[in-house]
Amino acid sequence: MSHDLALFCLCWWCLTGVFGDSVSVMEGDSVTLYTDLTEIHEGEDILWKYGAENSLIAKIKKKNQTFLTFDVPDERFRDRLKLDDQTGSLTIMNITTEHAGVYRLDISGAKESTKTFNVSVYARLPVPVISSNSSQCSSSSSSSNCSLVCSAVNVSHVTLSWYKGNSLLSSISVSDLSISLSLPLEVEYQDKNTYSCVLNNPISNQTQHLDITHLCHTCAVPPDSLIVFISAGAAAGFLLIVTAVIGIFCICRKHKNSVQTHGKNKTDSALSKPTTRKLKSKKEHVYENFTKTR
Ligand SMILES: *[C@@H]1O[C@H](CO)[C@@H](O)[C@H](O)[C@H]1NC(C)=O
Ligand SMILES: *[C@@H]1O[C@H](CO)[C@@H](O)[C@H](O)[C@H]1NC(C)=O
Ligand SMILES: *[C@@H]1O[C@H](CO)[C@@H](O)[C@H](O)[C@H]1NC(C)=O
Ligand SMILES: *[C@@H]1O[C@H](CO)[C@@H](O)[C@H](O)[C@H]1NC(C)=O
Ligand SMILES: *[C@@H]1O[C@H](CO)[C@@H](O)[C@H](O)[C@H]1NC(C)=O
Ligand SMILES: *[C@@H]1O[C@H](CO)[C@@H](O)[C@H](O)[C@H]1NC(C)=O
Ligand SMILES: *[C@@H]1O[C@H](CO)[C@@H](O)[C@H](O)[C@H]1NC(C)=O
């Protein structure tokens, strides 16, 4: 007897939908919660309620042709609710994550019924980004491997995965929190397999295909050529300084010699002055040259 009762209760529980219909929808879409009525009968009343507080958001009284929608105190449903006056179905337009939750339908009249809808709203997914792990660039150039990382910024309720062809290599999941995810991958430069990084939530996915030749070479080549360029520049600069120093040294020696040779001459001071001026101008010239090349 009690067994039968339990079974009956279970069936009633299932039929009336204590768990409710699960509805998954993408942010920005519109969703319609159906009453399953083809028409509202005379004398039937329909109430739509939302959330843990059972806030009344829509009311239909067929007898006196009342079709009304209401907002909740924080106005999250402002201009988003639409009632079908034929069936009593409720449409939430341009849904956002704020509108997720349990919606309850109460129909009263000749026969009473209740139905709940558990609405989950998923954000639109960004396309994941594949980049070379730059911290590994310099060391990987010596081996035959390329270090990559696939990432997705500010996501929740998603899984990020690496696929080699159709087979899953690795994955990482995140639930509630809105965070940034990243997943590493090592491939050989000569690898001819197709790799892809997939970001998915329960209702959608976004895929980024890996281009090894492009990503791994932009990682390995430019830093090397840049270093060559910088060292060439440094070497040129160093040579210039050395040349300048040698030049100045030689001029000084020459000047000293000329002072010594003309030491006994009475016109000594008159001769040495232009030499000093000449030396000064030469110094400036060298300096100017140096700054230009830098
Ligand atoms: C419809 O019924 C409600 C209450 O049941 C009442 O408040 C409302 O004034 C009625 N409207 C009309 C147009 O009769
Ligand atoms: C949808 O809602 C978002 C957020 O409230 C708003 O920025 C956007 O303009 C709306 N789009 C449409 C088509 O109403
Ligand atoms: C609604 O659905 C979500 C996702 O499936 C689940 O986590 C949550 O517990 C459900 N809520 C209720 C009240 O059933
Ligand atoms: C880059 O590689 C290093 C060493 O393997 C690792 O510690 C680091 O977390 C990687 N960076 C990213 C963004 O995965
Ligand atoms: C992350 O996402 C939330 C909600 O989706 C948004 O409000 C926030 O501005 C985002 N932050 C960044 C850094 O994109
Ligand atoms: C290179 O990558 C392969 C997998 O693609 C891995 O098995 C191997 O150990 C890596 N070698 C080095 C030196 O990291
Ligand atoms: C991504 O979504 C498409 C349908 O939009 C589906 O065919 C495909 O299997 C999904 N891929 C993954 C890896 O979930």
Q: For residues 102 and 116, is the Cβ–Cβ distance under 8 A?
A: yes
Residue 78 alpha carbon to ligand 1 centre in Å: 23
Q: Are strands 129-132 and 145-155 parallel, antiparallel or unpaired?
A: antiparallel
Residue 153 alpha carbon to ligand 4 centre in Å: 17
**pLDDT: which is higher, 284 or 243:** 243
Amino acid 246: pLDDT: 55
Question: Rounded CA gap, 112 and 254, in Å?
Answer: 116
Q: Which residues fall within 8 angstroms of residue 82, CB to CB, at 6 or more apart?
A: 69, 90, 91, 93
**pLDDT: which is higher, 46 or 268:** 46
Amino acid 116: pLDDT: 96
- At 236, is the pLDDT very low, low, confident or very high (cuts 50, 70, 90)? low
Amino acid 172: pLDDT: 95
Residue 213 predicted with pLDDT over 90: no
| Ligand nearest to the CA of residue 147, numbered in listed order | 4
Atom index in ligand 5 nearest the CA of residue 156 equals 5
| Ligand nearest to the CA of residue 93, numbered in listed order | 2
**pLDDT: which is higher, 290 or 40:** 40
Condensed to tens digits (0 to 9), the pLDDT of residues 1-12 reads 455 544 444 444
For ligand 6, atom 10, which residue shows the shortest CA distance?
145
Amino acid 160: pLDDT: 97
Mutate to test the pocket of ligand 3, among 120, 122, 158, 203 (most ligand atoms within 8 A of CB): 120
Condensed to tens digits (0 to 9), the pLDDT of residues 50-105 reads 999 999 999 999 988 999 999 999 999 999 999 999 999 999 999 999 999 999 99
Average confidence score pLDDT of the chain: 76
What is the pLDDT averaged over residues 221-226?
46
**pLDDT: which is higher, 240 or 99:** 99
Question: Rounded CA gap, 291 and 294, in Å?
Answer: 5
Condensed to tens digits (0 to 9), the pLDDT of residues 253-285 reads 655 554 444 434 444 444 444 444 444 444 444
Condensed to tens digits (0 to 9), the pLDDT of residues 133-159 reads 765 454 445 567 889 999 999 898 999
Q: For residues 132 and 185, is the Cβ–Cβ distance under 8 A?
A: no
Q: Whole-prediction pTM value?
A: 0.64
Residue 247 predicted with pLDDT over 80: no
What is the pLDDT averaged over residues 198-206?
95
210-241 CB burial, b ≥16 within 10 A, e <16: bebeebbeebbeeeeeeeeeeeeeeeeeeebe
Residue 25 predicted with pLDDT over 80: yes
- At 49, is the pLDDT very low, low, confident or very high (cuts 50, 70, 90)? very high
Burial class (CB in 10 A: 0-12, 13-18, 19+), 197: buried
Q: Which residue has the tokens 């939302």?
A: 50
Atom index in ligand 7 nearest the CA of residue 161 equals 13
Q: Which residue has the tokens 């396309």?
A: 127
Burial class (CB in 10 A: 0-12, 13-18, 19+), 95: buried
198 lines ligand 7 (CB under 6 A): yes
Amino acid 14: pLDDT: 42
135 lines ligand 4 (CB under 6 A): yes
Amino acid 263: pLDDT: 39
Nearest to 137 by CA among 197, 216, 212, 210: 216
